Every structure is written in structure tokens, then in C-alpha cells.
């Protein structure tokens, strides 16, 4: 069988595997020795977000944070790659350490940084839908008088814990698509 025909056959089989929203098996991200090594795999662009500075962090766990923002900074986000507090979790949102960190991150987002920053969870989902790498909470609320939306996610890849957040003013149409951002981050981490 020639190479192009084989590729078409494999693409057709992959399409069949995703019909009905069933999860597919995604390639595992190779385990890395340090959060900064995995952060190197993050893309220069994810959805409509451009990559910004990378900075070391110590809290909530030691690692690195990569900033992202849209043109004009109408939406901003970050991806934190942190060393897990215990053994290296498997890829995805299912490990106990990822689930615990997800609960902490969502509780902190709902609590806010003061009396004028309040968010509530409006939906939870695994992202990307057909090959989840993250558990995400989609939140709405206010920062002062400004209505906002925020998406907070936790997952694991390459033996590291991942924390991700996207925030923007709430408007119609939205300033950016958080799901496209998350999908591009997951694809970059899984790329060979």
C-alpha cells in the first residue's frame, strides 16, 4: 500500500473513532525532568493568544508560568507547569493529584482576591473533548463592576502538573475562545 493511501485510511479510522464524542487515545507526552523542560513545548500562539514572558514561580507549587494574551490584551491567560507534590501523575485530569489541585484552583477562583471579585462555576468539562488533558471550570462573575468570564483548568502531562487560566470581560461575541486556546496547548504538548 502506498503512503498517501495509508494516511487516508488512518485518517478515516481516526474519524470513525471520534464519532459520537467518544474519547480517543491520545499519544502520551514524554516524561520530562523539570517543569521548564515541558514549558518549552508550549506554542508561540494558541488560539488567538500570543505567548508572552516565562517566569519562575514557587506558589502554589514550584515551576514556571508562561503568560498569554490576545492583541490589545482584551483577554489574558497563563499556563503554569509545576512539579507535582507527589509522584509523577499520568497524562490527563484523572489522577488524584490533578483532581485535588483542580478543587483548590476552582475554590480559589470562586473566593476571589477580595470582596469585589466574585466568580461562580457555570459549567465543568474535560478539554479537549475527545482526548482530555485538562479538567476545566468555566466561571462567570464580576471584577468590581466589570462582568467577566474565566476558565480555570488543571491536568497533567509529561510527569508534571498543569494549571491554566483564561480571563476576559464578558461580552457578545467573546474576546477569545478559551477552548481553542486549550486545544492548541494540548496539541503542542502532545506533538512528537
Max distance between CA atoms of the chain, in angstroms, equals 65
pLDDT(20) > 50: no
Residue range 10-34: mean pLDDT, rounded: 57
User: Among 19-28, 47-56, 82-91, whose mean pLDDT is lowest?
Assistant: 19-28
Which position has the higher pLDDT, 147 or 23?
147
pLDDT(23) > 60: no
Question: What value does the mean pLDDT of the chain take?
Answer: 86
| pLDDT-above-70 percentage for the chain | 86
pLDDT, tens digit (0-9, with 9 covering 90-100), for 85-108: 888 889 999 999 999 999 999 999
pLDDT(6) > 60: no
Q: What is the pLDDT of residue 28?
A: 82
Beta carbons of 158 and 38 less than 8 angstroms apart = yes
Q: What is the pLDDT of residue 10?
A: 32
pLDDT(114) > 80: no
Q: What is the pLDDT of residue 3?
A: 38
Which position has the higher pLDDT, 80 or 29?
80
pLDDT, tens digit (0-9, with 9 covering 90-100), for 150-171: 999 999 999 999 999 999 999 9
Amino acid at each position: 500500500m502506498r503512503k498517501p493511501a495509508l494516511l487516508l485510511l488512518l485518517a478515516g479510522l481516526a474519524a470513525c473513532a471520534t464519532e459520537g464524542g467518544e474519547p480517543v487515545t491520545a499519544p502520551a507526552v514524554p516524561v520530562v525532568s523539570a517543569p521548564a523542560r515541558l514549558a518549552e513545548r508550549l506554542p508561540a500562539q494558541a488560539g488567538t493568544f500570543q505567548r508572552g514572558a516565562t517566569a519562575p514561580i514557587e506558589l502554589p507549587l514550584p515551576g514556571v508560568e508562561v503568560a498569554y494574551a490576545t492583541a490589545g490584551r482584551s483577554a489574558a491567560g497563563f499556563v503554569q507547569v509545576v512539579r507535582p507534590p507527589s509522584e509523577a501523575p499520568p497524562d490527563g485530569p484523572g489522577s488524584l493529584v490533578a483532581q485535588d489541585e483542580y478543587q483548590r484552583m476552582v475554590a480559589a477562583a470562586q473566593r476571589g482576591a477580595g470582596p469585589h471579585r466574585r466568580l461562580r462555576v457555570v459549567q465543568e468539562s474535560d478539554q479537549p473533548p475527545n482526548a482530555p488533558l485538562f479538567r476545566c471550570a468555566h466561571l462567570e462573575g464580576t471584577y468590581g463592576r466589570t462582568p467577566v468570564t474565566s476558565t480555570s483548568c488543571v491536568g497533567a502531562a509529561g510527569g508534571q502538573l498543569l494549571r491554566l487560566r483564561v480571563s476576559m470581560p464578558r461580552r457578545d461575541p467573546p474576546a477569545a475562545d478559551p477552548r481553542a486556546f486549550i486545544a492548541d496547548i494540548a496539541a503542542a504538548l502532545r506533538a512528537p
